[in-house]
Every structure is written in C-alpha cells, then in structure tokens.
Amino acid sequence: GSPSQLEDTAPRIVEHPSDLLVSKGEPATLSCKAEGRPAPAVEWYKDGERVETDREDPRSHRTLLPGGSLFFLRILHGRRGKPDEGVYVCVARNYLGEATSRNASLEVAGE
C-alpha cells in the first residue's frame, strides 16, 4: 500500500481518566480519549458493570461526551448510598480490538 493510504488501527487510549474527589451535587468529568480507525466506540464501566448514560436512559445524570469522556451533571449521594462512587474504567472498541484505560476512582467528599 502507498503511504498516503490510511490503514485501520486498533484503538488506543490517549487520555486516561484520573482519580476524582467531588462534593455531592457538583458536576464532574472523567476524561477519556481514544484513537483508532475506524473511530472507536467508548463505553464506561464502574466496578466492572457498564455505566448507563443518557444515550440509554434520557433521565440519566451521566452523559457520554463526543470525545469519550464521562460527564456527571451532579454527583448523586444520599442516605441510601453513593451511586456514583467507585472505580471507573473506559473501554474503547472497534473491529480490530479494544483498549482499556487505567482505573480511576471517584470519591464523594464527606459531609
């Protein structure tokens, strides 16, 4: 193939999420940026379970940003639990493979 021909490439994570400490009710963003060709689809997992965003549930307070980052409109935290607290990873996939980011923990600051 000639050099001008772009070859498909497996995803790689070029920006990893970092640990966050957030006050409840505040917005937060877990960064993730992946490259690949074709452009990889990004999913987020929290403690091993897939994170639902407003794409699956319009009422969700979590939004998957176009670049792949996960945005929280506000961090939920109540007497019954801390639904947003946990360890997150971002996974980017295309037909050639998948790449997983480093773990990032999200903690809700104490009262």
What's the pLDDT tens digit per position in 87-98? 999 999 999 999
Q: For residue 2, is it within any domain? A: no
Q: For residue 3, is it within any domain? A: no
Q: Which residue range forms the structural domain that includes residue 90?
A: 9-108
Q: Which residues contact 3 (CB under 8 A, 6 or more apart)?
A: none
Q: For residue 4, is it within any domain? A: no
Strands 104-108 and 97-100: unpaired
Q: Is the dihedral of CA 22, 33, 89, 39 positive or negative?
A: positive
What CATH number is attached to the domain comprising 32? 2.60.40.10
Q: For residue 1, is it within any domain? A: no
pTM tops 0.85: yes
What's the pLDDT tens digit per position in 32-70? 999 999 999 999 999 999 999 998 899 999 999 999 999
Q: Which of 21, 54, 40 is nearest to 90 (CA)?
A: 40
Q: How confident is the model at residue 81, as a pLDDT?
A: 84
Is the pLDDT score of 4 beyond 70? Answer: no
Number of independent structural domains in the chain: 1
φ, ψ of residue 65 in degrees (nearest 5): -75, 160
What's the rounded Cα separation, in Å, for the pair 108 and 81? 11
Q: For residue 103, is it within any domain? A: yes
